[in-house]
């Protein structure tokens, strides 16, 4: 009888508190802001994430960006990422407005530890971009260190430190460009409901132009659980140039992710 009761309680708990295959509270770069949290995809889980956005570059035509990524939890605490990022219309640092299929990227994410006591969760992400887009040249490599920490009862902060390397930059462009982004997340409506998360970010991005300076990145967004496996997101993100050689831009973004 005791075993039967334990099984019954477990089944009820699983229906009332489902484990989402794609969780609004797990944060991936691009959905909708630029930072990652330190949580990996579950072992054996898969996810497809896609998004689109309007881009308003300074002193240029309006453009459109698209993102498509496939994630697969191939090992415990780790997953691979395969993505592509087409674009059309106006874009920063270019006069080209033709459709560009974008660069194919392959990445790997690994979580070292869960958060406990005062120790943050730590993770690392690496991405390799292949020159498959228009006028593509060289390889783009990014190494990202990630730390996530709960502050107070519900608030979390996420520090992302990046090193970007291009093996064959255009004349006048940087081969090495570091960046730092501080992200913030908080569930909205908790504990009465747990299906929506607010996000914000502030970052310092090195400009691509070798004569340029840094760009200040700011953004905010929402991730909304719509069913057990699906999440929609929307946000606004901007880069503010601090040097005349760089170009500011504003992005309006919306996306959808589903796990299986």
Task: Tell me the C-alpha distance between 213 and 24, whole Å.
Answer: 35
Quickly state the pLDDT bin for 17 (edges 50, 70, 90).
very low
User: Which domain CATH number covers 224?
Assistant: 2.40.128.130
Q: Is residue 4 part of a domain?
A: no
- The domain of 200 spans 21-259
Q: Is residue 139 part of a domain?
A: yes
Any alpha helices (H) in the chain, and if so which ranges? 2-16
Q: How many domains does the chain have?
A: 1
Task: Tell me the C-alpha distance between 225 and 137, whole Å.
Answer: 39
Q: Is residue 2 part of a domain?
A: no
Q: Is residue 12 part of a domain?
A: no
CA distances for 120 relative to 38, 56, 96, 105, angstroms: 9, 36, 43, 28
At 228-254, the pLDDT tens digits run 899 999 999 999 999 888 999 999 999
160's enclosing H/E stretch is strand 155-166
Measure CA of the first residue to CA of the last residue in the chain; give whole Å. 35
Q: Is residue 58 part of a domain?
A: yes
Q: Is residue 14 part of a domain?
A: no
DSSP for residue 195: S
Q: Is residue 163 part of a domain?
A: yes
**Weakest mean pLDDT among 12-21, 49-58, 180-189:** 12-21
Q: Is residue 247 part of a domain?
A: yes
At 55-103, the pLDDT tens digits run 999 989 999 999 999 999 999 999 999 999 999 999 988 888 899 999 9
């Amino acid at each position: 009888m005791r075993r039967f009761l334990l099984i019954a309680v477990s089944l009820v708990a699983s229906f009332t508190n489902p484990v989402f295959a794609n969780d609004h509270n797990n944060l991936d770069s691009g959905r909708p802001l630029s930072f990652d949290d330190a949580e990996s995809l579950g072992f054996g889980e898969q996810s497809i994430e896609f998004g689109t956005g309007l881009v308003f570059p300074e002193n240029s035509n309006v453009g459109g960006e698209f993102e498509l990524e496939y994630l697969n939890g191939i090992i415990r605490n780790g997953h691979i990422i395969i993505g592509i990022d087409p674009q059309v219309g106006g874009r920063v640092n270019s006069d080209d407005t033709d459709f560009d299929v974008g660069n194919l990227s392959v990445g790997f994410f690994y979580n070292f530890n869960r958060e406990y006591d005062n120790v943050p969760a730590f993770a690392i992400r690496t991405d390799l971009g292949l020159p498959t887009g228009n006028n593509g040249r060289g390889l783009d490599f990014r190494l990202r260190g990630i730390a996530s920490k709960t502050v107070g009862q519900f608030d979390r902060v996420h520090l992302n430190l990046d090193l970007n390397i291009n093996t064959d930059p255009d004349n006048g462009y940087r081969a090495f460009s570091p960046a730092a982004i501080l992200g913030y997340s908080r569930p909205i409506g908790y504990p009465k409901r747990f299906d929506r998360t607010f996000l914000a970010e502030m970052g310092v991005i090195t400009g691509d132009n070798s004569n340029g300076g840094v760009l200040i990145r700011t953004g905010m967004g929402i991730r909304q659980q719509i069913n057990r496996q699906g999440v929609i997101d929307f946000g606004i993100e901007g880069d503010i140039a601090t040097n005349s050689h760089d170009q500011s831009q504003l992005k309006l973004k919306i996306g959808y992710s589903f796990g299986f």
